[in-house]
Structure 1
């Protein structure tokens, strides 16, 4: 224990880990965050930032806080956990310094919270390139044919999860507004396709939601190509299983793999991490690790898999912090139309954790309304 207080070690600085670090009672616990990233990204805001609705610095927050300086931060990767000695084995997260990155160390804990998140699964697909506005300029050249312009301005988004759908909608709005005004001669050639290996976009959600989202995208003229497998990403093409090279690649922003082949930390409904043992029927949970919890994208409640979203991570963090899961009840009918749009936009404010950034977002919205988005800076 540190100064008589239990040492609470949090692995990961994403939605779940960061929430707990900002709300834990510092008079009772001595928290330590271990993460390779010194900022926490507001993932629901990234799509808006990517399309120029506001600056990227408003879509992230520093793990270190002047008002909570007692929260210790260690920029490192956790390599292993020794549950018997209650310690985590770490390596400094400084890839540019090979000597330092090999100087491993251990951190003791009294309570361990595992919230490392997970990496997007690209299925080992080779290639990936981002080049939207350069292609708009190329398509605007006087010696470029209409067909070549169409090939250049086909925006392909791989991944039909929440981030993929949001960036698709934001890009559609961008094409119909600023791009139509700034590139009037070639804006008509822009098309958007979204690809997903699952049968439906937003496959982790209920049928009503993904049917509604699909119809809304189709109404916008967006090609929704579900059940497709991207085999290769070339310099200016995608190879789709069964189709060959047929589209030009502009953006690849999200590949969301829920529980398809991605191994997760299994917990009980109180977020306690299971200890598994071999049985004649295979690996089965037999007990739990004392004072070890897991949440966020890297953890699943056994037999109750939930979507890998910011909302779920925060709800689990709130439950772990104070025992109460926030949010609407399961019988809430949901929102559609203008109400859904207002709820989504207001979310850009509520996801942000400080009033300075919220004010800056509102101010940026007002400036965009009057002067247009700063897409030249994207």
Structure 2
């Protein structure tokens, strides 16, 4: 016998069940059953819920060997991790020489910073550090979306650039002395039209040919980077041959004759542009700070180096060198160019006999011996490679026998090795050497060491080594405190550079929340040292050596482990032609065995599995099909 189904009864039961569930969390008002009030938390659960605690903000300055290695080994769940860098990538510096000649693709030697999860990235320069308020002053490293006047050049440079544009608008002399038609016809409203024309020109994106190869966009180098790397275009260099006082009379005459605005009447526009640039600054607070900004190229204040030499510090430099090498080849292939001029263009010089200079000259030799010989057979015999150094040996930091092996290898490859030379100046296309006189060049790569960045020099309240201006730290890599005006400290060099006694301890007062990948015992400024320090600091920040700030007995037991101890794993340099040298505390190697070890080591040292596969794959492709000779 079937039982009839009462759908109304089922609906009532479901409704009652739903109301019972709600009563577990809500209390019904007695007066009105249509309004609900949330029940106290005690009636829901006996467990007490804690408010989420804010993570400490850890800011890392720099994306080089120190900053990026720290980022890879840091436990990001413990901190709100922020990284600030003017570069959006990490560059595998030992492989940049190969990228410069097309042995490897650029993406195989670069790691994007934004690919790291749980990290906030600021593409910016650090212009100031306020230790007391724990504040950083940042300037975006990218250009503004819209601008009227280029805000990255100084007032004097802006006036000079406007002056040049006004001269071109008034007409310029041709080779036969005739004047071209006026860009702006003279009339009573010429000032307004000139101003409008200049503003329209400044808004339009420009392709400016770089002095070091390639093209810039409508934005020049920021001032604080130009001061270190040098002017990038001729238009940025004010004329030194004619003083403003000399040109003022002629300018006044032109202004009165054509109704144009004089450059000295434009400071208000320039000041307004600088004010707009000031508005781009912003501040970033930090709880903990790691300073790992790296270093800049050292030019020893030799005149003309910044303006006329190339450098090899990051992927952009490598691309510029590649551009310039191929550019000189194209220029020298002109059928009517005299052979003497071809030889000048194909004279490629590297100043600096350290690992970077030695590896670059070796890679250029391989490029010239293979691809250039095949593609430019008539130009290959005209190429001359020269390496210049002030020391008495190539790779003088290596064992003497290894250094002599490297020199013999270069001489066997017909590379001109000039030692104990003094550079007196650099002009466009000419390197002046005290002992040899003028040496013409088509490419000059400057690789003579490093110096501290402008940020490090401007920091107050942290001790610095007097000669190198590097930040000083204690044995736990904490920045040493200093009274204002007493930051510079002179340290005695260790008996053997790079091998200081590890048992010595620093007793100076240090900051508890600021670390720097500087040094206390003048360790070598190499990628190996920076990487080792970053890994050690990551262990401290991760709490693997006791929680920071804890005074417990367990934390005190880790005190000795927090002291950084550097142990060299050796050094190696690729010399080209499948030859290398390797120095280690155990044994030294030369030849093809050292070359295979070099390749295996740097393949494995890549920061991601992607590049650990791309690097050997790139070598295989190059060995099979040759180097990439495209210019982009």
Name the TM tier (shorter chain): 0.7 to 0.9
Aligned length: 369
| 1:194 CA displacement | 1.2
- Matched with 1:305 is 523
Secondary structure of 2:308's counterpart equals coil
* 2:124 equivalent to 1:76: yes
- The separation in 2 between residues aligned to 1:233 and 1:36, in whole angstroms, is 28
* 2:328 equivalent to 1:328: no
TM-score of the aligned structures, taking structure 2 as reference length: 0.53
Q: Cα gap change, 1:110/1:205 in structure 2, threshold over 3 Å: closer, same or farther? A: farther
| 1:50 CA displacement | 0.7
* 2:450 equivalent to 1:257: yes
Residue pair 2:344, 2:442 contacting (<8 A) in 1 also: no
502, 509, 531: which one pairs with 1:287? Answer: 509
78, 83, 86: which one pairs with 1:28? Answer: 78
Residue pair 1:120, 1:257 contacting (<8 A) in 2 also: yes
More displaced 10-residue stretch of structure 1: 340-349 or 259-268: 259-268
| 1:247 CA displacement | 2.5
- Matched with 1:116 is 293
More displaced 10-residue stretch of structure 1: 246-255 or 33-42: 246-255
- The separation in 2 between residues aligned to 1:241 and 1:302, in whole angstroms, is 37
* Residue-by-residue CA offset, 1:221-253 (whole Å, 9 max, x unaligned): 212223333333333221223433223232415
Structure 2 unmatched ranges of 5 or more: 1-51, 146-150, 152-275, 310-320, 453-465, 491-506, 540-561, 571-583
- Matched with 1:151 is 344
Q: Cα gap change, 1:377/1:315 in structure 2, threshold over 3 Å: closer, same or farther? A: same
- The separation in 2 between residues aligned to 1:134 and 1:221, in whole angstroms, is 23
Residue pair 1:13, 1:35 contacting (<8 A) in 2 also: yes
| 1:216 CA displacement | 2.5
- The separation in 2 between residues aligned to 1:207 and 1:246, in whole angstroms, is 29
* 2:260 equivalent to 1:42: no
- Matched with 1:274 is 480
Greater gyration radius: 2
More displaced 10-residue stretch of structure 1: 31-40 or 150-159: 150-159
* 2:610 equivalent to 1:370: no
* 2:526 equivalent to 1:319: no
* 2:137 equivalent to 1:89: yes
- Matched with 2:308 is 128
TM-score of the aligned structures, taking structure 1 as reference length: 0.85
| 1:210 CA displacement | 3.4
Structure 1 unmatched ranges of 5 or more: none
- The separation in 2 between residues aligned to 1:373 and 1:198, in whole angstroms, is 33
More displaced 10-residue stretch of structure 1: 7-16 or 342-351: 342-351
Larger RCO: Structure 1 or Structure 2 (Cα < 8 Å, ≥ 6 residues apart)? Answer: 1
* 2:440 equivalent to 1:247: yes
* Residue-by-residue CA offset, 1:78-106 (whole Å, 9 max, x unaligned): 22222233332323323556435643333
Which of the pair is proportionally richer in helix?
A: 2
Which of the pair is proportionally richer in strand?
A: 1
| 1:38 CA displacement | 1.5
